[in-house]
Each structure stands twice: as C-alpha cells, then as structure tokens.
Chains A and B, each alone.
Chain A
Amino acid sequence: MKKIAVIFGSRSAEHDISIITAISAVIKPLEATGNYKVEPIYIDKSGRWFWDEKLKDISLYQSGEINDFCDKAPQVQLQFGEGLTLVKSSQFAGRKKYQKIDIVFPATHGTYGEDGSLMGLLEMANVPYVGCGLEASAIAMDKVTSKLLAEAHKVLTPTMQFFTAREYAQHHDTWLKEIQKKLSYPLFVKPSSLGSSIGISRVENERELINAIEVALRYDDKVLVEEAVQNLVEVTLPIVGNADESLTLGSVEQPLSKEDGVFDFDTKYLNQGKSGKKMGAKTGAQGYSKIPAVLPEKLIASAQEVGVTVYRALGCEGIARIDMLVDTKAGIVYFNEINPLPGSLYRHNWAASGISSIELVEKLLQLAESRWRRKQSLTTTFDTNFLKQF
C-alpha cells in the first residue's frame, strides 16, 4: 500500500480553504479507494508541522480544538535521503515513529504552499509530489510575470501597466499620466501576487486610481493596473497533465461575477455539493457557475486553446486552473490569471466532465510519479577534478 502524505494548512490567508481541499477533495477520495495509506500533515498558522491521524477529522478544525491539539502534540520532523521520511516522537521512552513517504500531495493554497516554496522543499527531498513544480508555481503567483510569459506565447491579455513600490514613490505623477495615457477607464488595480482577491479595486477616475494604488501597495511591492474587458464573461478551465504528455481538460466553466466585477473565484467553489440537489451538468458548485459556460462553440474552443497554451507556457504539471476574460462582442479571449492548485481541486468541474474525485486524485498521483521518474533520468551531478586543482 502506497503511503501518501497530504500537506495542508500553512501560513496563508487561504489556510482554512486548504483544510477543506485536503480533507474533502484529497484524503477522503484517496481513502475511499482502499489502496493508499494517507498520512495527514498539517501546518498551523504559525508554521508548525504536525502529523497525526486525528488531523483527518474536519470537526477538529471546526470546533477550534486544533489550537489545543497543536499546543500539546509533538511536531513532525522531515528526514531527507532516499526520499522523504516523517519522524515523530512517540512520547514513550524516547521512541520515535518513522514513516517513509511514497508520494506527497500538497493541498496548500496561497503563500508558503502554492507559491513554490513547498515544492522547493519537496524537490530537495527528491520525493514525487502532486501538482505544479517550483518554477511554474512561483510564476503563477505573480500576475505580471505570468501575463508577460503568456504574451510571449501570443496569448492576449488586457492592456496593462505595472510598477514597483519604489518606482511609484519616485515618479508617481509620471506613472499616473502614463497609465491614463495608455489605458482607458474603467481600470482594475491589483497587487501582483496572486493568492486571494484582497487589495483588488475597480476604478473609474484618477482619484479612485490613486486610492486603489495605495491600497494595492499595502499588500505587495508590485502593482498591476489593467483595462477592464468590455462585454465581459469570465470563464475558467481546469487542466490536468504533464509537460511530456497530452492534457486532459475539464469543462469551460462560467462563474457568475459579483456586481463589482472583482474576480473572486475561490470562495465560490468550496464545499462542493453542499447544496446537493442542484449539482450536475448544468450548474457548478453551490449554483455559482454554469458548466459548460454559455458561450458560442467558437469562443469555448478559443478558451480551451488559451488555457492549454498558458498551461504549457508556464510549465505547469499535474493540475492548474486558468481564468480567462471573454469580450463576447469582439469574440476575444484574454488570459487573466492561473491558479496552480485550485480550491478543492475543482472537483465539481471534473465531476461534471465525467471524472470522479477518485479518478482525479489517482490520475494526479500517477502524474506525480511519472514526472519524478522523468526527472531521475536527468543528470544533475558529474565528477570533476576541480577540488584537486584548488
């Protein structure tokens, strides 16, 4: 029986979302197969790591008992060398409990998890892990970098300007003029780092623009200002696959926008199936979306093409979700942002596309192992006589 470590929680604004993803979308389907031993690893909000069977129980978090648990339970240590081994004190006579891990399933969202930092750690441990690698995760976290990379692959993005806090502080008048010269209102002002929709504003004039930039700079050193897309329909597309094989696409889904037009996808897709009866091919989680999106076939095909191009361009592997903006009158699909670990793995979308949660997680494990095997065949060291010559 393969040992799968599911890592979740972490020092992130999306800490709680991560718990739901881990327990409902990863641990339960994996255990339902009866083929895996799942080891839950929880990172609390202060960054402490824990490993215990009790961590699979959602009521531990809902009741708030998790804080008490973390204060009393021994922390887990990670041992590298021939993969990853979990080590924990058994609290009896100095004995330790060891567990070698076959595959890691990261279920962390936002900072210290989805941004590539956890992936770096797992690369160092040389253990197969699910999802995007270090580089793709880091790039996906930065809206500006991911958009520039998409543009380099001839994918359209909304017209934008970006600058750092230092650049804005030194020449803010110039930047304001530049923005208003090149872009037309209404505009969106966003902190460049992805992770949540905090700090995003829609502005209609210069006064609002100045305020919005100040707000965005509180959350990030880099700010992105872009034109709002007209005749807008937002769509999103989950994709599964590795760089060296064909990709599996979910359904192009149409989240229903809030009135202010802020792209707040994640919170809408939690607890899939909570409303139960309404689930199915026609509506997405909690009835917040339409699956498939109500768009002409040509635009659906364009969205799929944009999704696949961006996924490949950013070097995504395992799973990612690409958010796009569609100008329905002009018939143009713009890339908006990419999420390398969608909340609850977007399992409602996969279910609507004919792929069950079990099939999804097992496919992701298989992709993780396949990528790891591919990497093992690469040469990373070689013998030299540099030291002797030194």
Chain B
Amino acid sequence: MMATLLRFWLSFYSPASPTMIVYMAQQVEYEPRELLKWLRRLPSLLNVQRRKRLDYTTRAVLLVAVLYTIYLCAALLIGFLALKSLYVLSLSVFVLVPFAMVAITVAALTVGHALNHFGRKRLILRATERFKNSRAKKIAILGSYGKTTTKEILTTILSYKHPVSATPGNQNVLVSHARWILNTVKNSDDFLIVEFGEFKPGDISSISRLVSPDIAILTGYAPNHLDSYKSEKLLKEDLKSIQEFVKSENIYASQFVADMLEIESNKYTDEEVLGWKIDSISVSLEGTVFTISKGAQKQTLQMGLIGEHLVSVAVLSSVLANEIASMGWDDIREALKGVTPHEHRMQPRLISGAWVIDDTYNGNLEGVRAGLRLLEVLPAERKTYVTPGLVEQGDKTQSVHEEIGQLITKAKPDKVVLMDNSVRSIIEKSLIEAGFKGDLSVELNPKSYYEGLEHRLAVGDLVLMQNDWTDNYH
C-alpha cells in the first residue's frame, strides 16, 4: 500500500506529468470532480496515455503551459532554498509539488467551468425554445442500456417515409443536445429522436425540460453509474422522473423496467409487444429473422442486427411506426431490412477469414448475457471471448463480475481473454469456481491486443469482444 502510494507520488515528478494531468482533464471533459475521481484510482501518472494521446487544443496548450511553469518555478525554488541552506523548507516545497499541480489544475478547471456556466445557460435557454416551437413529434429514448440501438432502429424505420432527425452517435447529454437542435436540426422534420443519458441525479429532468418529449421509450434498467448516483433508489427516481413530462399512455417500457421503476406505461416483453406475439426467431451472422402476429395479422421481418435480445425493440419500433407514423407493413418490412449493425455494437466483421463480433461499446450486463448466448449458439471451430469486464457497477461490482464468469463458463468458449484490471481477478476466480475448461489468458495491454488481432485469427474462429475500458478506468 505504502509502495503504491509512493510510486503514485513520485510519478508527479516525471517531466511528462503536466502533459499527463492535462490529458486526464481532457478525457473527463475538463470536469474537475471527474479528474479528482480518476486521480484517486490512478496507480501512477506514467502510464496514463494508453489508448490515446493528448489533443493539443488551445485549452490543453494553456493548461500544459501553466503546469510546466509551476513545475519549473518549483524546481528553481527548491534549488534556491537548498543553496540558502534552508533544507527543511526546500524539502517541504519538493513534497508539495504534486499538491500544487493538482490544486492549480482543479482551480483552473473550476474557474473555466464557472465562466462557461453562463454561456451554457444561454445556449440551453435558446435550445429549449427551439424544441418547444418545433412541430416535430419528440421521442425520448432513455434507460440504462440499449438506447443507441433503439434510437438507430426507430430512426431507420421512420426515415423510410418521414423526415427525421436523431441525436448523433451516442451523444446523450444536455449541452450536446442543445447544440444539436440549434445547429443541425431542420424545421421540416416530422420526428426528433433524442437519446437521454443519465449520469447523475437530475439528468433526466434536465434533458426533459430541454426537449419537452411527447413520447418516451424506456429500454432497460441496470444499476449503472452508481458511483455518482450513490444508490439505486436515486437512479430509479431519476429515470422515473420522465413521468412528470410524458403522459403514461405515451410511455413505452419493457416489463422489466416498468416493474423495477414501478412506472405506469405501455409494457412490452421479449415474447409480446403491444399485442403482437413474437416467435420463430432465427439468428445468424447475417442478421435476425422473426415473425410477429396479432389476431389474423402475421408479419415476417428481418434485420441486419444480430441478437435475440434486439427483437422486442425492433418490434416496438415497427409497431410505433405503424401506429404513430401511419406506415404500412410493406414499408416497415423494407425499412427494417436496412437496419444494420452499428459501429462496435454486435457488429460482425470478417478478419483473416475469421468472424469477429465487435461489441466493444457494450457496457452492461444485459448486453453481456445476450452476447454470450449468441456465442454459445453460433457454430465455429474455435470460439474466443474477450472482455475487460464492466465499469461503474458500484457495490454490485463483485456480483456482476461473478455472474459474468458464470455466464462465460456456460457459453463454453474455447478461449477467454481478460484484460489486466481491477475486476480481472473476480472474473478469473468465478471462471475457475464455475469449472471453466478452456484456455484462459490475461492481456496487459488491451490496445496492442486489439491491434494484433488479425494475426491471432484463422478461418473457423469466432471471437466475441465485449466492452473496452477507456484510460480513466483501471
């Protein structure tokens, strides 16, 4: 413990430390609280830039310059005091250098934050007006997981017949939405589809006030971001607050989410969505085919996305397109064919003749379950499962990763590759206890593992890669 602390302390004296601190600040979007949290978890400043490098923006250059100035002044002061035989004082300054660097960085970020606050407030006010005045139907997509996929499916289907705008990629915070509505969205849209991110108490209310949603879809619930929510109760309350903005008849939630949040809504399950029964699901690397029926009506649909767990969301999107956007089933069927895997989300790729399912943007247990179910059923000569585990699981970290170990064992891959981090030993132990019989290896450097993947593959291999930790997790 003392050795780790000493190593961490001494790493601040490295000439590269100012750049590393600014890199960390940049990675957490200059949030002082997030920077401090990361610093608390960090074993050493020396190995921070594992995935990316500092982007020398004006703000970054200024911060680096400030920190190097402190670094240089401290060095001169230490030398000066030592020359004057003020050794105790000189040593005190030496010891305080890391404190000074962190304190000044946090102070600079806090001041920057305060200065930005008024600008952000004006931006949000303008954006709120714009959302309010928009004639488009506004659909909010929220939940702990599955938001981006649901948004993409719904956008693809509705776009087949209507002008639609959706928040780009996985952007889901207040400021990015404000910029999006002001800078990108056209007045002619029939639908605006907005992904709601929840990271801290009050996030859902804030975005709801901005967007004024007409319809809300709650995709899934998992105890994520408990580091900032502190308790599941607060997380649930935040998600549930959507009721204050959307009428319950316009809220669509999976049965599981509705039960967990105790929320009034239209419920759907993996077997039935708004009266439509789902059956005959067939999954392959080319996509998923399924049948839905309601009374005498029967539709066979297919999409490029892979995974049984995505069918209910696809059906919900299809039924909504039919009911709220008056789209015919022939159009919906064609539109759904155009739904293809999104970047890094259950995205099958052929590398060196082998199939790799890239699910590196998946960061929740439900996704892990779905992925491992798929790995179990798909045929292959040799199956490999790669994961660093999940982040931000709060006090559920232990149980979540124990379950992951059990799920992996059940899926029976020939090889499991874990990344060396704080949850590796939990998964490893769980695998051993569950009786995992395959090959187990631990990678010290995830980046080089991913970069060298093509050299590890041959025809007949199937690799599922789930989640990827950014540099601020260890």
Q: Is the CB of A280 closer than 8 A to any CB of chain B?
A: yes
B interface residues, how many (CB within 8 angstroms): 22
Q: List A contacts of B444 (CB < 8 A).
A: 34
Which residue of A32, A34, A273, A359 contacts B458 across the interface (Cβ within 8 Å)?
A359
Q: Which residues of A contact B381 (CB under 8 A)?
A: 354
Distance in angstroms between the alpha carbons of A358 and B461 in the assembled complex: 14
Given contacts A276-B350, A277-B350, A281-B353, are A356 and B445 in contact (CB under 8 A)?
no
Residue of A at shortest CB range from B453? A32
Counting chain B CB atoms within 10 Å of each CB, which of A31, A33, A351, A352 scores highest?
A: A351
A273 contact set on B, CB distance < 8 A: 352, 454
Whether, in the assembled complex, A353 has its beta carbon less than 8 Å from a beta carbon of chain B, the answer is yes
Tell me if A262 counts as interface (CB < 8 A to partner B): no
Complex interface bits, B342-381 against A, C-beta within 8 A gives 1, otherwise 0? 0000000010111000000000000000000000000001
Within residues 1 to 41 of chain A, which ones have a CB less than 8 A from any CB in chain B?
Answer: 28-29, 31-34
A357 & B448 in contact (Cβ 8 Å cutoff): no
Does A32 lie within 8 Å of B456, measured CB to CB? yes
State A154–B451 Cα separation when bound (angstroms).
47
Residue-by-residue, is B8-46 near A (CB-CB < 8 Å gives 1, otherwise 0)? Answer: 000000000000000000000000000000000000000
From 279 to 325 in chain A, residues with beta carbon under 8 angstroms from any chain B beta carbon are: 279-281
Closest A residue to B444 by CB, please name it.
Answer: A34
Q: Is A355 interfacial (CB-CB < 8 Å)?
A: yes
Is B455's CB within 8 Å of the partner chain A? yes
Residues A32 and B457 in contact in the complex (CB < 8 Å), given A273-B352, A280-B353, A281-B353: no
For B445, the chain A residues whose CB sits under 8 A away are: 34
Cross-chain contact of B451 among A32, A279, A280 (Cβ < 8 A): A32
Contact with B along A78-96 (1 / 0, CB 8 A): 0000000000000000000
Chain A residue nearest in CB terms to B352 = A351
Q: Is A350 among interface residues, defined by CB-CB distance under 8 A?
A: yes
B275 contacts chain A at the CB level, 8 A cutoff: no
Q: Within the assembled complex, what's the spacing in Å between the Cα atoms of A353 and B458?
A: 7
Is B457 within 8 A of A279, CB to CB?
no
A28–B452 touching, CB < 8 Å:
yes
Select one of B443, B449, B460 contacting A354, CB under 8 A. Answer: B460
Q: Which residues of B contact A350 (CB under 8 A)?
A: 458
With known contacts A277-B350, A279-B352, A351-B353, A34–B448 Cβ distance under 8 A: yes
Report whether A351 and B458 are in contact in the complex, using a CB–CB cutoff of 8 Å.
Answer: yes
Most buried by B among A277, A348, A354: A354
Interface-centre pick from B354, B452, B459 (highest chain A CB count, 10 A): B459
* Separation of A280 and B381 alpha carbons in the complex (Å): 14
Whether A352 and B353, one on each chain, are in contact in the complex, defined by CB atoms closer than 8 angstroms, is yes
Chain A 135-156 per-residue mask, 1 if CB under 8 angstroms from chain B, else 0: 0000000000000000000000
A326-365 contacts to B (CB < 8 Å): 348, 350-359
A351 to B455 Cα, complex, angstroms: 9
Which residues of chain B are near A33, meaning CB under 8 Å?
Answer: 452
**0 or 1 for each of B311-334: is its CB under 8 Å from A? (1 = yes):** 000000000000000000000000
Residues of chain A contacted by B354 (CB below 8 angstroms): 351
Select the residue from B353, B382, B461 with max chain A CB neighbours within 10 A: B353
Q: Which residue of A lies closest to B457 (CB)?
A: A356
Closest A-chain residue to B381, C-beta based?
A354
Task: Decide if A351 touches B456 in the complex (CB within 8 Å).
Answer: no
| CB–CB A356/B458 < 8 A | yes
Q: Given A34-B444, A351-B352, A351-B353, answer yes or no on A280-B452 (Cβ-Cβ < 8 Å).
A: no
Q: In whole angstroms, how far apart are the Cα atoms of A273 and B382 in the complex?
A: 21
Most buried by A among B354, B382, B454, B460: B454
A32 lies within 8 A of B455 (CB): yes
- B453 surroundings in chain A (CB, below 8 A): 32
In contact, B350 and A355 (Cβ under 8 angstroms): no
State which residues 429-473 of B face A: CB under 8 Å. 443-445, 448-449, 451-461
A34 to B444, CA, bound (A): 9
A34 and B453 CA atoms in complex are apart in Å by: 12
Distance, CA A273 to CA B313, complexed state (A): 36
Which residues of the partner chain A approach B352 to less than 8 Å between Cβ atoms?
273, 279, 351, 356-357
Chain B residue with Cβ nearest A31: B452
Q: How far is the CA of A28 from the CA of B381 in the complex (A)?
A: 25
A278, closest chain B residue (CB): B350
Residues of B within 8 A of A281 (CB): 353, 459
Known: A279-B350, A279-B353, A280-B353. A351 touches B452 (CB 8 A): no
B residues less than 8 Å from A348 (CB atoms) = 353
**How far apart are the CA atoms of A357 and B456 in the complex, in Å?**
6
B459 pairs with A357, CB closer than 8 A: no
Q: Is the CB of A353 within 8 A of B459?
A: yes
Contacts of B382 in A (CB 8 A): 354
Chain A residue contacts of B461, Cβ below 8 A? 354, 356
Q: Contact between B458 and A355 (Cβ–Cβ < 8 Å)?
A: yes
A352 proximity list for chain B (CB < 8 A): 353, 458-459
Q: Is the CB of B455 within 8 A of A354?
A: no
Contact call A280/B350, Cβ cutoff below 8 A: yes
Chain B residue nearest in CB terms to A273: B352
Quick check: B448 and A354 within 8 Å, CB to CB?
Answer: no
A350 vs B352: C-alpha distance when bound (angstroms): 10
Q: A34-B444, A280-B353 are in contact. Are A29 and B452 (CB under 8 A)?
A: yes
State the CA gap A358–B352 with chains docked (Å): 12
Most buried by B among A34, A281, A354, A356: A356
A28 CB contacts on chain B under 8 angstroms: 452, 455
Distance (Å) between the CB of A155 and the closest chain B CB? 29
> How close is A14's CB to chain B, nearest CB, in angstroms?
23
What are the residues of chain A within 8 A of B448 when measuring CB–CB?
31-32, 34
- Given the known interface contacts A32-B448, A34-B445, the answer about A357 and B350 at a Cβ–Cβ threshold of 8 Å is no
For B354, B443, B444, B452, which residue has the most chain A Cβ atoms within 10 angstroms? B452
Nearest B residue to A350 by beta-carbon distance? B458
Say whether A351 contacts B350, CB under 8 Å: no
A166–B148 Cα distance when bound, in Å, is 77
Query: B454 — which chain A residues lie within 8 A by C-beta?
Result: 273, 357
Chain B proximity of A20: nearest CB distance (Å):
15
Known contacts A273-B352, A276-B350: A354-B458 contact under CB 8 Å: yes
State the Cβ distance, B246 to closest chain A Cβ, in Å: 44
Cβ contact within 8 Å between B451 and A351: no
Bound: A215/B457 CA distance, A: 44
Bound: A358/B458 CA distance, A: 10
Determine the distance from Cα of A155 to Cα of B352 in the docked complex, in whole angstroms.
34
Residues facing B in A194-210 (CB within 8 A) are none
List the B side residues contacting A355 at CB < 8 Å: 458
Q: Which A residues lie within 8 Å of B459 (CB)?
A: 280-281, 351-354
Q: How far is the CA of A222 from the CA of B452 in the complex (A)?
A: 45
Query: In the bound complex, what is the Cα–Cα distance between A28 and B460 (angstroms)?
Result: 22
CB distance from A346 to the nearest CB of B (A): 13
A/B interface sample: 18 pairs, CB < 8 A = A31-B452, A32-B448, A32-B449, A32-B452, A32-B456, A34-B444, A34-B448, A276-B350, A277-B350, A280-B350, A280-B353, A281-B459, A351-B354, A351-B457, A354-B461, A355-B458, A356-B457, A357-B456
Known: A31-B452, A358-B456. 8 other contacts (CB 8 A): A34-B444, A273-B352, A280-B353, A351-B352, A354-B461, A356-B455, A356-B457, A356-B461
The 10 closest A-B pairs by CB, nearest first: A32-B452, A29-B455, A357-B455, A280-B353, A356-B458, A351-B458, A32-B455, A352-B459, A281-B459, A354-B458
